């Protein structure tokens, strides 16, 4: 794996308490009887609270198997497989609890709003003072990162990649049309199921009826549009990613998945992004214009994405237009 695959962690929120901003409507969903059960002795050492265990048992049947996917910044994600169903279970503690609670609150509002969020209708969630959890159906299928492997390795036919990229654009376009912004678009947050492209990891999503989190820092600097970097740098809070910013992030995500490199060509500018904190890197990028690299194996894709990344927000295509441009590409 190249280092480019590992996303640079966003800076931790300065004030963990400010994360706790889940509106009352998002309080823990009542969970069905039977009453709470404790983990059996044979269960792995997973941290979930008792109401989460109960929900898992109720929804999956027994026995269940557990596979940890990630564990970062107070949040862990597990693939939980039972005889009846398979779930992604996200558990957060302390600072991570607020992040998971916010995702649950978003999920409750967006479930079923667009095809990309349809799986949220089956979500279950709970929270207490220091913990929160969210269960969503496990989405069986590759991520955008996985789908683009043939381009990164320069093998095979790219037709599937073209379709997948266009589907992601259309999925995001439908979300934007419904007034929502995801806020953390990246190739690992787009999954392809038999039903089409699905988006995951909703903690930073916002809508006029659910303002952005005060803890949101604009997401990965590598995928941040110039105007979003300006906004973050200006100190105006909360940071509100616009649909146009998000189209920039999506174009940058497709570029990243296609090359294993971010679109800004750090090497040509003699910038080692790993040598900076995200805040420092953002400041470097605001001071120095870094030109875009290349997508060697797929020049027509490069041309479309380069044009999006170079366009100011007023003339940047929207997500649906980008999807149409990608659909029209040759491979």
CB-CB neighbours of 172 under 10 Å: 29
C-alpha–C-alpha distance, residues 50 and 110, integer Å: 27
Part in contact with ligand ATP (CB under 6 A); list of ranges 24-32, 54-62, 184-192, 295-303:
184-192
Phi, psi for 98 (deg, rounded to 5): -65, -35
Which of ligand ATP, Mg ion, none sits in contact with 75, Cβ below 5 to 8 A by type?
ligand ATP
Helix, strand, or coil (residue 313): coil
- Site map 11..30 versus ligand ATP, x via CB under 6 A: --------------------
- Site map 236..265 versus Mg ion, x via CB under 5 A: ------------------------------
Part in contact with Mg ion (CB under 5 A); list of ranges 149-157, 193-201, 295-303, 319-327:
193-201
C-alpha–C-alpha distance, residues 317 and 305, integer Å: 10
Nearer to ligand ATP, 106 or 301 (CB): 106
Which of ligand ATP, Mg ion, none sits in contact with 309, Cβ below 5 to 8 A by type?
none
At closest approach, how far in Å is the CB of 203 from Mg ion? 8
Residues in the chain, total = 331
Helices (H), 32-120: 50-60, 95-110
- Site map 144..183 versus Mg ion, x via CB under 5 A: ----------------------------------------
Work out the widest C-alpha separation in the chain, in whole angstroms.
Answer: 61
Q: Does 205 bind ligand ATP (CB under 6 A)?
A: no
Contact 322, 251 (CB under 8 A): yes
At closest approach, how far in Å is the CB of 292 from ligand ATP? 25
At closest approach, how far in Å is the CB of 128 from ligand ATP? 19
Considering only residues 185 to 204 of the shown chain, the ones binding ligand ATP according to CB under 6 A are 188-189, 191, 200-201
Residue with tokens 């875009």: 292
φ/ψ bin of 94: left (φ > 0), alpha (ψ from -120 to 50), beta (otherwise): left
φ/ψ bin of 324: left (φ > 0), alpha (ψ from -120 to 50), beta (otherwise): alpha
Contact 117, 111 (CB under 8 A): yes
Tokens of 271: 């910038």
Contact 99, 79 (CB under 8 A): no
Nearer to ligand ATP, 136 or 325 (CB): 136
Q: Does 201 bind Mg ion (CB under 5 A)?
A: yes
Which of ligand ATP, Mg ion, none sits in contact with 77, Cβ below 5 to 8 A by type?
ligand ATP
- Site map 113..152 versus ligand ATP, x via CB under 6 A: -----------------------x-xx-------------
Nearer to ligand ATP, 69 or 268 (CB): 69
Considering only residues 54 to 113 of the shown chain, the ones binding ligand ATP according to CB under 6 A are 69-70, 72, 75, 77, 88
Contact 316, 169 (CB under 8 A): no
Helices (H), 178-298: 226-234, 243-259, 278-287
User: Beta-strand (E) ranges in 138-235?
Assistant: 190-193, 196-199
Query: Could you list the residues that contact Mg ion (CB under 5 A)?
Result: 201
Query: Could you list the residues that contact ligand ATP (CB under 6 A)?
Result: 69-70, 72, 75, 77, 88, 136, 138-139, 188-189, 191, 200-201
């Amino acid at each position: 794996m190249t280092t480019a695959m590992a996303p640079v962690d966003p800076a931790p929120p300065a004030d963990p308490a400010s994360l706790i901003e889940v509106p009352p409507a998002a309080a823990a969903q009542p969970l069905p009887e039977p009453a709470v059960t404790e983990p059996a002795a044979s269960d792995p050492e997973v941290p979930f609270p008792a109401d989460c265990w109960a929900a898992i048992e109720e929804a999956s049947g027994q026995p269940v198997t557990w596979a940890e996917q990630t564990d970062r910044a107070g949040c862990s994600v597990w693939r939980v497989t039972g005889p009846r169903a398979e779930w992604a279970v996200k558990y957060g503690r302390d600072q991570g609890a607020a992040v998971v609670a916010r995702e649950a609150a978003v999920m409750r509002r967006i479930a079923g709003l667009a095809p990309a969020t349809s799986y949220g209708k089956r979500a279950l969630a709970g929270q207490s003072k220091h913990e929160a959890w969210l269960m969503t159906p496990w989405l069986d299928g590759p991520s955008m990162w996985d789908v683009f492997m043939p381009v990164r390795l320069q093998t095979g036919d790219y037709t599937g990649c073209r379709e997948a990229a266009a589907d992601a654009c259309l999925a995001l376009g439908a979300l934007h049309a419904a007034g929502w912004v995801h806020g953390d678009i990246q190739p690992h947050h787009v999954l392809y199921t038999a039903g089409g492209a699905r988006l995951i990891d909703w903690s930073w999503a916002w809508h006029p009826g659910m303002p952005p989190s005060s803890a949101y820092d604009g997401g990965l600097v590598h995928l941040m549009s110039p105007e979003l970097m300006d906004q973050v740098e200006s100190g105006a809070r909360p940071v509100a990613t616009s649909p146009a910013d998000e189209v920039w992030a999506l174009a940058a995500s497709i570029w990243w998945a296609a090359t294993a490199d971010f679109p800004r060509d750090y090497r040509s500018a003699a910038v080692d992004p790993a040598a900076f904190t995200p805040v420092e890197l953002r400041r470097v990028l605001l001071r120095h214009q870094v030109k875009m690299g290349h997508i060697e194996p797929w020049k027509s894709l490069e041309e479309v994405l380069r044009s999006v990344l170079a366009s100011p927000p007023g003339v940047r295509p929207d997500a649906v237009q980008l999807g149409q441009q990608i659909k029209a590409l040759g491979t």
